[in-house]
Chains A and B, each alone.
Chain A
């Protein structure tokens, strides 16, 4: 295996016996753009911090460019761009001062991309960091992460709290960067539309494990949800035993049954196992799939 990024059976707990990450394995190949998804508290940031060498796993191994963040932190960080969830920038500096500091650390600086980002967000090098809006501050954090031409870009909820226009501008910069450098990107996000715009693949974390790992096109085309009345299958195992079934979740008086398979085939399988013809099966957007996969059951309302 020659992934840019490799996680093998990562375990990390903050509270004993309650691991946040409980055996997470996947790898990211060169040129991939991977969205790391999951509900709050499922360990996305923990996994990213492990990649950056800010935290260490209690067991399992992580390799970045084939190196260990524990023993080769500098060699790795030279080749990574990183925007943290709560990136702190030095408020008293001007943009120019911050940029010159980064240029000094990273000699392969892309002056043209720097200028394009500043223009895009209508920023002047003289502006003081503390006077920037939240969106502008995120743009500067992104500028510092991409202008040294990293091979791997890691973004932890880069667009959280930004308005829709600022989020779109942020994505534009990421795409310009992809076009220029063809780099690999791992990013966590709760904005499913943004993930669909820029991502090629989604890795969904849930209950300490990788729950689903698939190309985004396949998620849109090869998965579907069926609505089965609870009376038709009082025991959910009738459904979860069907080939391709990922989950049956009760929502009011129906089971929402998530399948890996195309709607026509799933309809036939359901007709065989619960004896109802023409059960409704629909493909989903990423947002719907995320909810079907990780959402809580919704108890039946007593009438």
Chain B
């Protein structure tokens, strides 16, 4: 499912899974109604404990990002919850400061940074409308 897990990362593994799934939702790599692999299959794919994947799924289900339909599997909810802006806003501000200081260090100016952001945006949307849509059933 296009997830990458790093045990030495700052977050515990179940939080890494949660974050990557919500990120995939945010950029449209995962769509409402789409079926997720079973927690056992994903555990084998990522080589992590099945219970860890189950914990991530359970937490995402509590937050109403995904739902388990008995006997059918786990699906992305049709109606996605709004992520609380206040918590995310701080992270976005911090990321913006990081990006700017990195850019200034190598001698880029604000216009270059804006151009970089636009390029990243077009790449993201291309990913969504291009190959991903073709392969999804």
Q: Is A11 an interface residue, CB under 8 A from the partner? A: no
A178 touches B50 (CB 8 A): yes
**Do the beta carbons of A172 and B49 come within 8 Å of each other?**
no
Q: Find out whether the CB atom of B51 lies under 8 angstroms from the CB atom of A217.
A: no
- Chain B residues within 8 Å of A294, by CB: none
CA distance A198 to B56 in the complex (A): 15
Docked complex Cα distance between A286 and B11 (Å): 11
Note all chain A residues with C-beta closer than 8 A to B5.
197
Interface pair B8/A172, CB less than 8 Å apart: no
Contact across chains for B12 and A220 when beta carbons are under 8 A apart: yes
Stretch at the interface among B39-47, B92-100, B121-129: B39-47
Over the window 173-187 of chain A, the binary record of Cβ atoms lying under 8 Å from chain B Cβ atoms (1 yes, 0 no) is 001101100000000
Q: How far is the CB of B42 from chain A (nearest CB, A)?
A: 11
Given contacts A192-B7, A287-B8, contact A168 B13 (CB under 8 A): no
**Is B68 an interface position by the 8 A CB rule?**
no
Partner of B49, one of A175, A176, A192, A287: A175
B49: which A residues are within 8 A, CB to CB? 33, 175, 178, 197-200
Count, A-B residue pairs, CB within 8 A: 57
* Complex Cα–Cα for A220 and B10 (A): 8
- Whether a CB of chain B sits under 8 angstroms from the CB of A285 is yes
Segment 1-55 of B: residues with Cβ below 8 Å from A: 5, 7-14, 40, 43-44, 47-52, 55
For B13, what are the chain A residues with a Cβ–Cβ distance below 8 Å? Answer: 196-197
A283 at the interface (CB under 8 A from B): yes
Contact with A along B108-134 (1 / 0, CB 8 A): 000000000000000000000000000
* A197 with B47: CB separation less than 8 A: yes
CB within 8 Å of B: which of A193-232? 193-194, 196-200, 216-217, 220-221
20 contacts between A and B (CB under 8 A): A31-B51, A171-B47, A175-B44, A175-B48, A176-B44, A178-B43, A179-B40, A179-B44, A179-B50, A192-B7, A192-B8, A196-B12, A196-B13, A197-B7, A200-B51, A200-B52, A217-B12, A217-B14, A286-B7, A287-B8
- Kindly list 8 other residue pairs between chains A and B, CB separation below 8 angstroms, not including A175-B44, A175-B49, A220-B11: A175-B50, A178-B49, A197-B13, A199-B49, A216-B12, A217-B14, A285-B7, A287-B8
Q: Identify the 5 closest CB pairs spanning chains A and B, nearest first.
A: A196-B7, A193-B7, A220-B12, A179-B40, A217-B12
